[in-house]
Amino acid sequence: MSAWTPPPPGRHVYEYPRPAVAVDCVVLGLDTDDLKVLLIRRGVDPWKGAWALPGGFVGEREGLEAAARRELVEETGIGEVFLEQLYTFGEPDRDPRHRVISVAYYALAKLSDFKLTAGTDAAGAGWHPLSKLPALAFDHATIIDAAVARLRGKVRYAPIGFELLPPRFTLTQLQRLYEIILERELDKRNFRKKILSLDLVIETDEKQTGVRHRAARLYRFDRKKYDRLVKHGFEFAI
């Protein structure tokens, strides 16, 4: 940036070839027993017909996160989700035709809010388990790996897991969430003790419904309290 020099006379900076700038979104959702990622089917070349991350080019006067949210709504109908910048991918040959730099974002969605059909739907969008992803366009498999690594790293030190659950959840659901993301089993009693000792997950007087065994109590995450504690130096940790 600091090395920018004015374009020489007679030429304008816009005459130089510049990379195109895109955003791509890795939307992760939690299913019964695995994480899923939302993919769309590409309708145009290159990689026509392949599965790809939702995304697209950044508008001329549009912020990066704004572009990511716009693409998410346009291509998948998803709005109002947790969205965070992940990494910027800019290898010169990641797009076979011309230089495209992609600012990747990852989003955490409550799967229940976005029930697409299991594989593919009319709009060409579908949830795919991370364990069996189809062939993906461009370097999108790498981008997904980075998103999952970020989630795994961050879920233990930040209360982002709740973004994957409905507003009211059982402690067992929460435990399953950590087990799925961290890929290891947790002890039920120790988990509950730990979670409840943080005093950020508070019990409601509601119970689980539509279940054919003893109904569990529903809890909710107290974000206001969390925000307050963070201001005083509190650090969340599981």
Footprint of DNA (CB under 7 A)? 170-172, 187-190, 192-194, 211-217, 237
Q: CB-wise, 42 or 168, nearer to DNA?
A: 168
The answer to the question of residue 220 lying near a second copy (CB under 8 A) is no
- Partner in contact with 30, chosen from DNA, a second copy, none, beta carbon below 5 to 8 Å by kind: none
* 61 interface partner picked from DNA, a second copy, none, CB below 5 to 8 A per type: a second copy
Beta bridge partners of 106: 26, 84
Chosen residue from 37, 72, 78, 102 binding a second copy by CB under 8 A = 102
Partner in contact with 8, chosen from a second copy, DNA, none, beta carbon below 5 to 8 Å by kind: none
Residues 27-86 that bind a second copy (CB under 8 A): 40, 42, 44-45, 52-58, 60-64, 71, 74-75, 85
Smaller CB separation from DNA, 189 or 232: 189
> Residue 100 interacts with a second copy (CB under 8 A)?
yes
Question: For binding to a second copy (CB under 8 A), which residues are involved?
Answer: 1-6, 13-14, 16-24, 40, 42, 44-45, 52-58, 60-64, 71, 74-75, 85, 87-88, 90-93, 95-103, 137-138
